[in-house]
Every structure is written in C-alpha cells, then in structure tokens.
C-alpha cells in the first residue's frame, strides 16, 4: 500500500542521506525527501480516519504521533 511505501521511504532517505553526509547539500536533500515522505504518510492516515476506514481514534493518534 502507499502508506507502507511512504513510511519505508522515511527511513530509507535518512539512511541514504547519512551515507552522503560528507556532501552537505546531498545530506540536506535526502532529509528533505524524508520529511516529505513523512508528510505523505500522515496525509494518508488522515484520509483513512476521515473516510472512517480507520475508526479507532486512539490508534489514529498513535500512528500520527510516531
């Protein structure tokens, strides 16, 4: 699912950016990608809650707080 892909992308981009940390602009670029993927995941979770596909409010808050 898209949630899985975007959430895995957060970690992957941080790791890849860390691997390029000696090049400041590259490091920043991958951290920016990671933040964008995090925002995407949050948007997907919001949509699930708004459409009542994710009905448990506590679980939704848990996922969004992670």
What pLDDT, in 10s, does the model give residues 13-30? 999 999 999 999 999 999
Question: Alpha carbon of 40 to those of 9, 22, 55: distances in Å?
Answer: 10, 28, 20
For the segment 41-56, the average pLDDT, to the nearest whole number, is: 86
| Alpha-carbon span 26 to 49, nearest angstrom | 35
Please tell me the predicted confidence (pLDDT) of residue 63: 72
What is the C-alpha end-to-end distance of the chain, expressed in Å?
18
Residue 14 · residue 8 · CB < 8 Å: no
Averaged pLDDT score across all residues of the chain: 89
Please tell me the predicted confidence (pLDDT) of residue 66: 62
Please tell me the predicted confidence (pLDDT) of residue 58: 76
Please tell me the predicted confidence (pLDDT) of residue 56: 76
Domain ranges of the chain: 2-65
């Amino acid at each position: 699912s898209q949630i899985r892909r975007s959430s895995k992308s957060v970690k992957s981009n941080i790791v890849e950016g860390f691997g390029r940390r000696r090049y400041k602009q590259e490091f920043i670029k991958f951290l920016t990608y990671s933040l964008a993927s995090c925002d995407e995941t949050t948007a997907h979770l919001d949509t699930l809650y708004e459409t009542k596909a994710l009905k448990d409010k506590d679980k939704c808050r848990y996922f969004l707080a992670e």
